[in-house]
Structure 1
Amino acid sequence: MFKKSFKLLVAGTLSLAMLLTGCSTGGTAVQATDAPKTEEKSDNNQTTANADIKAGFIYSAPVADGGFVQSHDKGRLYLEEQLGVQTVYKESVPETQEVEKVARDMIDQGCNVIFAVSFGYMDYIEKLSKEFPEVTFFHCSGYKTTENMANYFGRVEDARYITGMVAGLQTETNQIGYVAAMPIPEVIRGINAFTLGVKAVNPDAVVKVSWTNTWYDPAKEKEAGSALIDQGCDVLAQHQNAAGAQQAAEEKGVWSIGYHQDMSGIAPNANLVSAIWNWGPYYVEAVQSVIDGTFTPSAYWEGIDAGIVDISPLTANAKEGIAEIIEARRAEMKAGTFNTFQGPIKDQAGNERVPEGSVLSDEDQLSNDWFVEGVVGDIN
């Protein structure tokens, strides 16, 4: 289990993102997963405390989405395995007041820990946390906290940068496509980090952005990817819940960069590498803090050095020599000697945003509303 340090994020910097609507509709009945049988622990008090915990997970897309939600659900299963607690989940819950009903249902079923796993759930979960002070809430990707509500995410931009290096070294056309969900700071800074990685190894390459304005719509994601390929892109990256862009690359014979989890199995002839999440250890530590009575309403935002984000193994589709180049940069990130957003950095118009010797502040990252030099596309 990696060690974590909880850091206070800058609050109130994502006002643009609060305008988002739901990522998907529909859903299924709450699914329950009984805790697996474990060896008897010598600490009977700890065993009793674990049995008193029931954690509910609320997801914005199907568990089998092949990306974002599936990566979290692997973390949920890891939590069960490691702590022996019971969990339930509800998939495909829209980012509307529906999330309140789902959370209330879970609380009625005995859940005393709730993980709300989508940005648009934030305000609803904040409201519920004040109504149910006896329940501990964790919200993914937002910035608000209350006395019994924490938030959590990771600096996936570290992994984005490295996968951008892979794309920059692999491309032959110097045109790289990026299928993007919503024009919020989280997605924008991911595009920027990826592009900085591309430009670090290939100054002639550009990254073309296509917005889908949905977190989960495999058909629309695939269509956007195909359109970028038709424009000359020979590598596709993505910030989407599912793997539609990977499928487009596989079918049209170009390369792809996955996200959330290793997508090489979905596009075996196209995928080069994926930026991946490792949520399990975080979920274990979060629930353990509730069991131990050490929970604090803080904000978690760590990077590749903490292990919550990383890259998947480079596939055999990648050119020879890429592995050595990216591993050197990855090692610098893990050692804390390289920052993804260190200067000099210019924006699309050529204006210097981060001078040499400086680093883009956390506050500016969390409110990022501009593209770096090398991105082709608008924020709309």
Structure 2
Amino acid sequence: MNRRKLLTLATLAAVVAVSAFSPAYAQEPLKVGFVYVGPVGDAGWTYAHDQGRLEMEKNLGAKVKTTFVESVPEGADSERVIRKLAADGNKLIFTTSFGYMNPTEKVAKAFPNVVFQHATGFKTAKNLGNYETRIYEGAYLLGIIAGKMTKTKTLGVVASFPIPEVIRNINAFTMGAQSQNPGIKTKVIWVNSWYDPAKERQAAETLIAQGADVLNQNTDSPATLQAAQEKGVYAFGWDSDMSKFAPKAHLTAATNNWGGYYTETAKAVMAGTWKPGEVHGGLKEDMVRMSPLNSAVPADAAKAFEEKKKAIAAGTFHPFQGPVKDQSGAVKVAAGSVMPMKDLLSLNYYVQGVEGSIPK
């Protein structure tokens, strides 16, 4: 990673201000714990986090000692795991799923000298920060390709849980597609799981049967892609490059790149300069990356994709810039304006073109 990227990530990790966490780890490794919602496997959300952990180990060597616990259910079980990691001497703990937010906050109060970082939530405290990627930028780019390549004008999304993070991605995907093909509609099936290959496959097959010929997902396994390839339609990887599982169907993937952020956060804790805050890193900060395009992507789609990718990274375009309308046609973001981050973080409606309703 080049110096400019590292400096940007250092800023994101808020390492510039001295805090109450003193550099007490100079003579021994910083113990860092990770809590994962799914199995590490070789694709998806948890895999991407674990790749970030391994990159941090490579970057910092003997200065850190890491451990992880995988497939931890959200809820009471996660509190038990988080508490044990803190009790075992881990001084920096990353909890990597939305449902870990309240348990992380609770354990953080009990261990004030441990730094906790929670992924995709919104709570902070003296020793608790939160972080996530702006992967909706990647979802918008996937939509551009989908809008160019669909023949049925029907897209499908296999969705996990109806939380703002996932709703953002569905909406961004739809608006990206509509930027190329205004008649696009998106069908959504919720599987109420981050990782359930059988449910994901069933949902994908149902969407295809309903006419969707390009699929996206906000789930953790490659089952959606594999179903797409078997049925002769296209799909996208999510959180990591999944092309090896369905090379004919996989058009590209929106991926999370956590290694630089994890490295800089650990360095800040060791230096005593960590402070709580909110991190939202995207294409500009190299925390979101797009995997290589399949050769099946037409030249005009690839061109539109690359142009918008550069514009998002440069800050000259935002996926949620107005006009943005909800399903009823009501204007939620006026032309010339951009949806504020606070509204993005609490997004609870579908944009025009997304069918159905959000589960309660």
TM norm structure 1 = 0.87
Pick from 12, 27, 38 the counterpart of residue 61 of structure 1.
Answer: 38
- Give the one of 115, 128, 151 matched to 2:94: 115
Q: Does 1:256 align with 2:235?
A: yes
Q: Which amino acid aligns with 1:376?
A: E
Please state how far the C-alpha of 1:155 moved relative to its aligned partner.
0.8
Higher RCO (C-alpha 8 Å, min separation 6): 2
Which of residues 335, 349, 357 is equivalent to 2:314? 335
Q: Does residue 49 of structure 1 match 2:26?
A: yes
Q: Are 2:212 and 1:214 aligned?
A: no
In the TM superposition, 1:303-318 aligns within 5 A as 303-318=282-297
Provide the residue aligned with 1:185 in structure 2: 164
Q: Contact 1:349–1:373 at 8 Å: present in 2 too? A: yes
Matched to 2:75, the amino acid is: T
The one-letter amino acid paired with 2:200 is: E
Q: Aligned residue for 1:79?
A: 56
Amino acid at match of 2:215: L
Of 325, 342, 347 in structure 2, the residue corresponding to residue 363 of structure 1 is 342
Q: Distance in 1 between matches of 2:137 and 2:182?
A: 19
Match in the other structure for 2:78: 99
Measure how far apart 1:50 and its partner are: 7.5
Please give the alpha-carbon distance, in whole angstroms, between the structure 1 residues aligned to 2:293 and 2:217.
17
Instruction: Indicate if the aligned counterparts of 2:163 and 2:348 stay in contact, CA closer than 8 A.
Output: yes
The answer for the alignment partner of 2:108 in structure 1 is 129
Is this contact kept in 2: 1:51–1:86, CA < 8 A?
no
In the TM superposition, what is the alpha-carbon distance from 1:94 to its structure 2 partner? 0.6
1:7 Cα deviation (Å)? Answer: 9.0
Deviations 1:260-297 (A, max 9, x none): 01111111110101111100001001111101111001
Contact 2:13 2:265 in 1 (8 A): no
- Deviations along 1:170-213, one digit per CA (max 9) or x if unpaired, are 11111111111111111111111111100001112211111111
8 A Cα contact 2:158 2:191, kept in partner = yes
Q: How does 1:157-306 map to 2 (within 5 A)?
A: 157-306=136-285
Q: Normalised by the size of structure 2, how large is the TM-score?
A: 0.92
Gap runs ≥5 in structure 2: 15-22
Quote how far apart the aligned CAs of 1:109 are: 2.9
Alignment check: 8 A CA contact 1:163 1:311 kept: no
With over 3 angstroms needed to count, the CA separation of the structure-2 counterparts of 1:318 and 1:202, relative to structure 1, is same
Q: Which runs of 5+ in 1 are unaligned?
A: 9-45
Residue 48 of structure 1, CA deviation: 6.4
Distance, in Å, in 2 between the alignment partners of 1:181 and 1:104 is 26
Q: Which runs of 4+ in 1 moved over 4 A?
A: none
- 5 Å-filtered alignment, 1:8-23, equals none
Q: Answer yes or no: is the 8 Å Cα contact 2:13–2:261 preserved in 1.
A: no
Q: Percent identity?
A: 44
User: How far is 1:249 from its partner?
Assistant: 0.3
Q: Letter of the aligned partner of 1:92 in structure 2?
A: S
Q: C-alpha offsets along residues 37-81 of structure 1, whole Å, 9 cap, x if unaligned?
A: xxxxxxxxx996283301010001101062000000000000100
- C-alpha distance in structure 1 between counterparts of 2:121 and 2:177, whole Å: 28
Instruction: Select between 68-77 and 294-303 the one with higher mean Cα deviation.
Output: 294-303
Residue 77 of structure 2 aligns with an amino acid whose one-letter code is E
Structure 2: distance between partners of 1:61 and 1:294? 31
Residue pair 2:156, 2:188 contacting (<8 A) in 1 also: yes
Amino acid at match of 2:189: S
Q: Contact between 2:97 and 2:119, CA under 8 Å: does it hold in 1?
A: yes
Distance in 2 of aligned mates of 1:105 and 1:339: 41
Q: CA deviation at 1:301?
A: 0.8
Q: Deviations over 1:129-185 (max 9, x none)?
A: 111111111111101111111110011111110111011111111111111111111
Q: What is the letter of the counterpart of residue 257 of structure 1?
A: F
2:323 corresponds to 1:344: yes
Q: CA RMSD of the aligned region, Å?
A: 1.7
The answer to whether the Cα contact below 8 Å between 1:65 and 1:242 also exists between their aligned partners in 2 is no
Deviation at 1:115, TM superposition (A): 0.6
Does 2:71 correspond to 1:89? no
Counterpart position of 1:145: 124
1:224-263 deviation per Cα after TM superposition (whole angstroms, max 9, x unaligned): 0000001111111000022221111011110001110111
Shift of 1:110: 2.4
- Amino acid of the residue matched to residue 50 of structure 2? D
In structure 2, what is the equivalent of residue 354 of structure 1? 333
Contact persistence 1:271–1:317 (CA under 8 A): no
CA distance, structure 2, for counterparts of residue 107 and residue 7 of structure 1? 21
Look up the equivalent residue of 2:244 and give its one-letter code.
Answer: G
Which secondary structure state, in structure 2, belongs to the residue aligned with residue 240 of structure 1?
coil
